Structure 1
């Protein structure tokens, strides 16, 4: 045995003297390697922080993790790639933990920060219908001609036979087998047996090239083509989409500069021939096997793969009427389809103002109302679209009193913004109707027996429930007889359809506070009202901050149902909503919404449709058709923006100085040419700062005078009754905004100073 002491070591851990030959190793090589690594690179690094000179010889030791050593140890244990990922994940976890603790204990709000989770991912399902009912909805809508599209039916619906589709023409070439054919016999397509399609080249012909031609009556927009050329998800630009829309729609009237074959841009067609009623139904379903689920398993659980809403039973089997008969336009006995009424709906709360005024003017300026014909002409009343303006005269949470309708028309008659549309010339195309929430909900068979159970949470938007203001008891000054005669149960909506008449003595502050709450409730109410109106009457709903930019003939011809895209998100914006009266889709939406708190927020509706695999039945159109500035306002596609270029929605009302030459120079024809409408998203600014009144000429001079008197009075003029008979052009705005140019263009048409966008003059 050797009696020598342990040899000293170099700083690298090796002995300064050679080891004797008869010495045994201290341990396995792996042990030595780890020991040497430990000596070379400890887990932590100690830093001595000297203390003040008064405490000489003392110091503060601070430890830090030795990141290089930790990285080498992790790589040695798990490999270079996995070790690096583990170390990175650990660092992120430590940072998040520190941030969470600071948020928890370092702020007044004691809550943990929640990591971002994409919408719908991990959320609770809203589905209340089983697969058999979803299949019934698909079959009903397709058989009724409401699916004129070749877009695939989602595979989770699990249709085993291809439905006959009367809104699609027969395929000239047999459909190629799907890549899933070997796995399953579920189908994702329909069998077209409708009329043939003839695509039109609708453009102005010499010498009438000053204005674009009206769309051909009964023409239809092929929205599949529009989706292929305009879908934001496939990296299509709004600018390019608008060019396709105006070229294929003939809105470039004599100014076409594109050369080459433009057939791929033809998206408008007419149907020719009859529906093939002799088509043979597909063969009965055969036993199938799908993704490991056998026919026997499907028999035991036909809803396998669907996520049902928790703690809610499946809805009872859906009851649907007989499918509608799809008839091409040219086969109808009259020029209008009774099953497809052309009604535009709009909802407005409170005193009439300039936003709905602009919506109605743009309706007169663009739609085929035949106002250029005398009323005695036989074609003057042929299939004209109608505009129903729904007025909610009081609070959103109350039902009007028995005299509310008379009071509503008195207010409309006295309003300079509304009274022009009560003129007899517009009696058959513009109608003011009073909104009554109780009556409307009672008219929807799907919810009429159950909605009252939700009246305390009736105003639900995106899961956020707003409380309705409580109705107040009559004041002491009110007689007992009056109180008994007028009072109704103090609920958000009275059973009798009559709102309680409270005493007039209320403070102004309380009135303003209540009015603000009513405005918020009205916004939530409008989310529900659009679905109620479309399901009850059919037609298209538009938000009140929307203006028409072209004739909607081709959209009426397309028998499907649609909304449009929420900017960059694959969700719905129901500012434009087209649904059919009493449709299967409407039944699904109302029953689903009832089980989800009657929530009709657009994001929630998107969740309903996604969970049920029904999204293709409510087509999500590109926002270029109705809201062409939205992507630019959210900083998308600014490298190639459309004309005009809005970075903010307020640019519509106050155009930036560097771009303010465009409105007056380009006019209506240079404003998102090709789009069907423009949605200006409620900035609530005057459309014409210099002439903030209805300027409609001698037919409506009384309303104009009243508006100008009110403006003078509000501005504290010395003589509020004095109105200068003429204005000098020098008093006008130097640079006109887009909102001003559009307002003055529409008003010039009503005054008889110019034709509408299709070259037609208004005949009084």
Structure 2
């Protein structure tokens, strides 16, 4: 068999071109054989005369012709064949060496990576969180962390041991991906209202804990779980379907709330086992090069050195609720944080009302807090007194309380009845940043780029900093609210901050979709991490409404946020971060090396690049944001109740669905979810026809003030109203016929404060 290539025949001995066929000559004349990446070979077809098989091979024609011209046809083809075989062997050898997860390509730098910690430091952070009881889960730990021994986990009970002798068990994997539970026994609760008290659901059992592993099994969008089904599990497991249960059969698999009973297991004696030979570990140890890179497989941030090993405090001692000296765990304070900029409106007003309506704050008759069995949460409302980029003046705190006292939406919460459960605090950016040990020495280098959102930086001109006094240095004054008195800061004239113009730097709150206070939103992205790291607790966006008691969620000591709808990233509208935790240190140190960017998408990348997603759990959005998937055209074939196709439906319920709010009420609004997030819309009133605080005679002064402002706005600025008008005549026929969901929730919470109905658990507010 003769092999012909498209080359001159005998071109090596004759200066004139001589071709094996006219076809080859024509192709050469047309220039197709002198360029490109393929050389065409022609193979005779056995049994078929005059026909040849055309075979292009990835050999540059110029290389082929020069080799054949120099060494001859046979020797030249042999040399090219050997070169091709050598290249293929090299490719396969490299693929075998670096083609698996365990053996990645030795790339140390990647421009978009955010990783700054070495593997040993990542391992220490994981071990600190596990030892502190912040990982009460059986989910796997990423192999990239490189654990070689199972960490002791005091928040997880021992797993059932296998009955096989160790010599018959498969060898454990290296690296280790699970923890060794030594925790107390878990007793899962069947929570139901008991007759005759079946009109309202029972309060959660003090000290109970939510098993978020079970929640993930029933609610994870990645596993094709529906929000509708998740809410049903949440309702039944918490007993929120009191007296209305229609499900039949055993429901143990839906029980997700438990109590810890019994002492921690003594792992030094009870977990002693027969030594197990691990051939994989032995093989790794035998074949491991002395100089192997301990960070192999990790992709470090480009242009920075590895971060020094973080200085972590000793792990927090894990204690179950029954061994605490009091109802509250001082290492895990129950504080709700919320951040607000601009005049106080109906949005934070409703958030605070929902807190009083749902949480066990002990304002009802015969409160169990009196016998020291329930830990009452607190709500810290952080007020930024001026534009986000402004520096507060020395009198800012006093002026803040003056404005709160004169604001009809805020003044009711200054009443002494709420002083132990609601606190107003002033936000000072400089003071807060200096209060974070990981930031205080370096954050000033980012002053000009402090407003960084997902890499988009808004430049803010620097101003002279004015030192402000701390709260301890402030004097006190007496402020009258209704018929009672409270203590606030020292007296001073009220001087509200007013912007010279409504540009981005001087905005104070969002009054419309076109005048969005972007700087305050960016500042709040950073503020939530600072507040939780400094003080502990849970941060809530101001567009959040609480829908049930969070007792069992507080019992789960781990950190969490929730999922960004269909995306596998975080939404930090709800964020739980433990006080002074190793995870917090990791986040702040990483943010420092990434221009202090705390946008949720960027934080998601911090966690993903460093394999920390397991200790900052990404919960399903069904728990806190049940309408989000529907608004993005997902799960519309089986939506939850109510069915929102857009977030505006909460404020302006479509006519065909508008019978539901009044007929079903609070109990028909995403029943089972812990909260609802209505996604901004700061400029839309909850109740346009009654856009004022309607809390009864005790707060009549603020109500009259708001009613008059509303009437003036409706009548026009030129209309003169009687200053002495105290009574506002109203008829039910004047009200909107079809009430929206937002109005129904607002009026439900207000009725509880007025004393016209109990809260969601059947408890009446006592003054």
**Range into which the TM-score falls when normalised by the shorter chain:** 0.7 to 0.9
The answer to whether 1:763 aligns with 2:752 is: no
The offset of 1:294, in angstroms, is: 7.2
Counterpart CA distance in 1 for 2:140 and 2:284 is 22
Q: Distance in 2 between matches of 1:77 and 1:528?
A: 63
Aligned 1:559-598 pairs, distance under 5 A: 559-598=557-596
On the 8 A contact 1:160/1:185 being kept in 2, the answer is yes
SS in structure 2 opposite 1:753? coil
1:289: how far off? 5.7
Worse overlay, 198-207 or 663-672 = 198-207
Within a 5 Å distance, the mapping from 1:694-705 to structure 2 comes to 694-705=693-704
In structure 1, the residue matched to 2:394 is 402
Deviation at residue 469 of structure 1 after TM alignment: 4.5
Identify the residue that residue 733 of structure 1 maps to in structure 2.
Answer: 736
Deviations 1:600-644 (A, max 9, x none): 000000100011111000000000000000000000000000000
SS in 2 for 1:715: helix
The residue correspondences of 1:618-637 to structure 2 (distance < 5 A) are 618-637=616-635
Q: Which residue of 1 aligns with 2:467?
A: 496
Contact 1:396/1:521 (CA < 8 Å) preserved in 2? yes
Distance 1:325 1:507 in 2: 49
Q: Which residue of 2 aligns with 1:365?
A: 357
CA distance in 1, matches of 2:585, 2:756: 48
Deviations 1:369-405 (A, max 9, x none): 1111379983489521000000000121223111110
Write the deviation string for residues 119-174 of structure 1: whole angstroms up to 9, x where unpaired. xx986110110011001001100000000000000001110000010000011233
CA-to-aligned-CA distance 1:89-147 (integer Å, 9 cap, x gap): xxxxxxxxxxxxxxxxxxxxxxxxxxxxxxxx986110110011001001100000000
Give the 5 Å matches for 1:373-452.
373=365, 378-379=370-371, 382-452=374-444
Q: Deviations over 1:202-235 (max 9, x none)?
A: 0111211100000000000000000000000000
Superposed counterparts of 1:270-285, under 5 Å: 270-279=259-268
Q: Distance in 2 between matches of 1:583 and 1:223?
A: 20
Q: Deviations over 1:640-672 (max 9, x none)?
A: 000000000000000000000000000000000
In 2, Cα distance between equivalents of 1:365 and 1:555: 17
Deviation at 1:496, TM superposition (A): 3.3
SS state of the match for residue 637, structure 2?
Answer: coil
Question: 2:736, 2:200 → 1: CA distance?
Answer: 29
Answering whether residue 671 of structure 2 is matched by residue 673 of structure 1, we say yes
Find the aligned partners of 2:498 and 2:260 in 1 and give their Cα distance: 63
- Pick one of 610, 613, 637 that aligns with 1:612: 610
Aligned equivalent of 1:510: 501
**In 1, are the aligned partners of 2:369 and 2:376 still within 8 Å (CA)?**
no
- Contact residue 439 and residue 592 of structure 2 kept, 8 A: yes
C-alpha distance in 2, partners of 1:151/1:214?
Answer: 29
Contiguous gaps of at least 5 residues in structure 2: 1-18, 29-52, 58-108, 471-494, 510-516
Q: Per-residue CA shift, 1:538-577, capped at 9, x if unaligned?
A: 0000000000000000100001110000000000000000
SS of the residue aligned with 2:507?
helix
Does the 8 Å contact 2:349/2:410 carry over to 1? yes
Q: Provide the alpha-carbon RMSD of the alignment.
A: 3.2
Equivalents in 2 of 1:76, 1:230: separation in Å?
Answer: 59
CA deviation profile, 1:297-323 (whole Å, cap 9, x unmatched): 475421111111111001111111111
1:745 aligned to 2:752? Answer: no
User: Conserved in 2, the CA contact under 8 Å of 1:754 and 1:761?
Assistant: yes
Q: Which residue of structure 2 aligns with residue 213 of structure 1?
A: 202
Whole-Å separation in 2 of the counterparts to 1:506 and 1:401: 10
The residue number in structure 2 matching 1:240 is 229
Kindly tell me the number of residue pairs found equivalent between the two proteins.
633
The alignment status of 1:530 with 2:528, answered yes or no, reads yes
Q: What pairs with 1:143-542 in structure 2 (closer than 5 Å)? A: 143-174=131-162, 185-279=174-268, 296-297=288-289, 300-373=292-365, 378-379=370-371, 382-471=374-463, 489=464, 494=465, 496-497=467-468, 510=501, 514-516=505-507, 519-542=517-540
Contact 1:401/1:498 (CA < 8 Å) preserved in 2? no
Q: What per-residue deviation string (whole Å, max 9, x for no partner) do you get for residues 475-513 of structure 1?
A: xxxxxxxxxxxxxx3xxxx273599xxxx9999763556
For normalisation by structure 1, the TM-score amounts to 0.78
The change in CA–CA distance for 1:573 and 1:175 in structure 2 (over 3 A counts) is farther
Distance verdict in 2 for CA 1:380–1:733, change over 3 Å: farther
Instruction: Answer whether contact 2:394 2:467 (CA < 8 A) is retained.
Output: no
1:642 to 630, 640, 643: 640
Between the aligned partners of 1:243 and 1:648, the Cα distance in structure 2 is 22
> Is the 8 Å Cα contact of residues 421 and 430 (structure 1) preserved in structure 2?
yes
Cα–Cα, structure 1 residues 291 and 562, in superposed 2: closer, same or farther, change >3 Å?
farther
1:720, distance to aligned residue in structure 2 (A): 2.4
Q: How far, CA to CA, are the matches of 2:704 and 2:497 in structure 1?
A: 32
In structure 2, the partner of 1:480 is: none
- TM superposition score normalised by structure 2: 0.78
Between the aligned partners of 1:27 and 1:76, the Cα distance in structure 2 is: 15
- The within-5 A match list for 1:88-127 is 124-127=112-115
Tell whether the 8 Å contact from 1:288 to 1:294 is kept in structure 2 after alignment.
no
Partners of 1:530 and 1:577 within 8 A in 2:
yes
| C-alpha distance after superposition, 1:679-721 (max 9, x if no partner) | 0001121000100000000110000000011112222364423
Which residue of structure 2 aligns with residue 72 of structure 1? none
Equivalent pair of 2:393/2:466 in contact (CA under 8 Å): no
Q: Given the alignment of the two structures, is residue 140 of structure 1 paired with residue 143 of structure 2, yes or no? A: no
Query: Corresponding residue for 1:720?
Result: 721
Q: Aligned equivalents of 1:505 and 1:170: distance in 2? A: 59
Secondary structure, counterpart of 2:445 in structure 1: helix
Q: Distance in 2 between matches of 1:739 and 1:78?
A: 71
3-state SS of paired residue (2:380): strand
Q: Distance in 2 between matches of 1:665 and 1:236?
A: 28
| Cα separation, partners in 2 of 1:134 and 1:253, compared to 1, 3 Å | same
Distance 1:567 1:77, change over 3 A: farther
Structure 1 residue aligned with 2:598: 600
After superposition, the Cα gap between the structure-2 partners of 1:159 and 1:406, relative to the gap in structure 1 and judged at 3 Å, is same
TM-superposed deviation, 1:515:
2.7
CA distance in 2, matches of 1:464, 1:175: 57
**Larger mean Cα displacement after TM superposition, 368-377 or 700-709:** 368-377
- Which deviations, in whole Å up to 9, do the C-alpha atoms of 1:561-597 show, x marking residues without a partner? 1000000000000000001000000000000000100
Say if 2:206 and 2:374, in contact at 8 Å, map to a contact too: no
Mark the runs of 5 or more structure 1 residues left unpaired by the alignment: 1-25, 36-74, 80-120, 472-488
Partner of 2:556: 558
